[in-house]
Amino acid sequence: MSTTRQGAGLIVTLTANPSVDRTVALPCALERGAVLRVDHATSQAGGKGVNISRAAVAAGLATVAVLPARSDDAFVHELEEAGIRCRTSRPAGEIRVNLTLTEPDGTTTKLNSPGAAVDREHLDDLAATLEREARGASWAVFAGSLPPGAPAGLYADLVARLRGVTRIAVDTSGEPLARLVDGLPTSAPDLLKPNAEELASVTGADGAELEADPVAAARAARQLVDRGVGTVLATLGGQGALLVDAEGAWHALPPPTTVVSTVGAGDSSLFGYLLAELRGLPPADRVALAVAYGSAAAGLPGTTIPGPEHVRPEAAVVRPLLLHEAM
């Protein structure tokens, strides 16, 4: 994978379908049809790419968030006040609102809106904005869902377009992920971050088995590496995370954590990997920092993104998986 024109630590994030994330904390288990009181509620400008930019600012890294929005939108102002530079493209409509319900035991229920429908002009403007900002960056991160009207192959096309411009990480699911994998190796990113269910969906495996068995997950991830993906970082829920590249495989169990909300945990794991990579750390330390960031996010309320003060990579337990064992 090409690594030309890399900047010193700049992470550009693409959030093609941003959202206002409203989180409602319940004092008891969710009960359908009941009238429940709320402990507290929060609202925050969000989206998977935006979450990664928030983590970058907290860690002192330069970041630019690319997203479709009016430059004077309150959403953009909120991000700028948080220290995130934004580059906007022409929006198709109002930014969607996503609702998250959290229960005392950490159970999370998400209700996600689809967003405004886009056309080719919206997508062309978004892609051109992304390409301008990605020149000189260390990483470009494509994260989250696509808005209605966007072709499922948009991320695959953007990877091919930006190859040779910067290194690319992708975190998506469903049909966009399937199309990305269908297009390998042309659409191969430098880093792909699926969870167990997403990894299973593109390798023909069983998601529950992969989440429970890091060796099985390593075998599945190796299929993607063999087809051109530079590195696979697979998050495995309570089983931590798995890192597979052409040189080997490593599994990390997370630090002990009391789960409060899993919202943003996967985004935080991805950022932890990027931060470790930018620091020049070896694979075992990259996956350790990834699970430390993910578990820190799970221990924080709502969509709170952890900073370095929340993260304990030294408490992660990492073991290499021998090639003959994992593959």
Residue 8 has pLDDT above 70, yes or no: no
> Are the beta carbons of 319 and 251 closer than 8 angstroms?
yes
Q: What pLDDT score does 300 carry?
A: 86
Residue 5, in any domain of the structure: no
Residue 1, in any domain of the structure: no
Q: What pLDDT score does 289 carry?
A: 97
Q: Which tokens hold the place of 13?
A: 């994030």
Residue 15 has pLDDT above 60, yes or no: yes
- Split at pLDDT 50, 70, 90, the class of 2 is very low
What does the alpha-carbon distance between residue 26 and residue 194 come to, in Å, rounded to a whole number? 29
In terms of Cα–Cα distance, which of 253, 258, 242 is closest to 310? 258
What does the alpha-carbon distance between residue 125 and residue 240 come to, in Å, rounded to a whole number? 38
Choose the weakest-confidence range: 202-216, 255-269, 288-302: 255-269
In terms of Cα–Cα distance, which of 171, 315, 194, 322 is closest to 250? 322
- Split at pLDDT 50, 70, 90, the class of 319 is very high
Residue 323 has pLDDT above 60, yes or no: no
What's the total number of domains in the chain?
Answer: 1
Contacts of 131 (CB under 8 A, 6+ apart): 161, 162, 165
Residue 314, in any domain of the structure: yes
What does the alpha-carbon distance between residue 245 and residue 226 come to, in Å, rounded to a whole number? 9
Residue identified by tokens 């020149």 is 135
Residue 88, in any domain of the structure: yes
Segments forming the whole domain that contains residue 309: 11-29+38-326
Residue 235, in any domain of the structure: yes
In terms of Cα–Cα distance, which of 300, 260, 252, 316 is closest to 55? 300
Helix (H) or strand (E) holding 321: strand 317-321
- Mean model confidence pLDDT for the chain: 92
- Split at pLDDT 50, 70, 90, the class of 327 is very low
Residue 3, in any domain of the structure: no
What mean pLDDT do residues 275-284 have? 97
End-to-end CA distance of the chain: 22
What mean pLDDT do residues 81-107 have? 94
pLDDT single digits (tens) 114-145: 999 999 999 999 999 999 999 999 999 999 99
Whole-Å CA distances, 191 to 139, 173, 324: 10, 14, 23
Q: What pLDDT score does 6 carry?
A: 38
Residue 226 has pLDDT above 60, yes or no: yes
CATH number at residue 321: 3.40.1190.20
- Split at pLDDT 50, 70, 90, the class of 238 is confident
Helix (H, G, I), strand (E, B) or coil at 214: helix
> Are the beta carbons of 253 and 237 closer than 8 angstroms?
no
- Concatenate the DSSP letters of all residues of 63-108 into one string: EEEEEES-TT-HHHHHHHHTT-EEEEE--SSSPEEEEEEE-TTS-E
Residue 238: count other Cβ atoms within 10 Å of its Cβ.
Answer: 12
Residue 5 has pLDDT above 90, yes or no: no
Give the residue numbers annotated as catalytic, written as ranges. Answer: 267
Q: Which tokens hold the place of 84?
A: 């995130």
Q: Which amino acid is at 50?
A: V
> Are the beta carbons of 24 and 78 closer than 8 angstroms?
no
Q: Which amino acid is at 259?
A: V
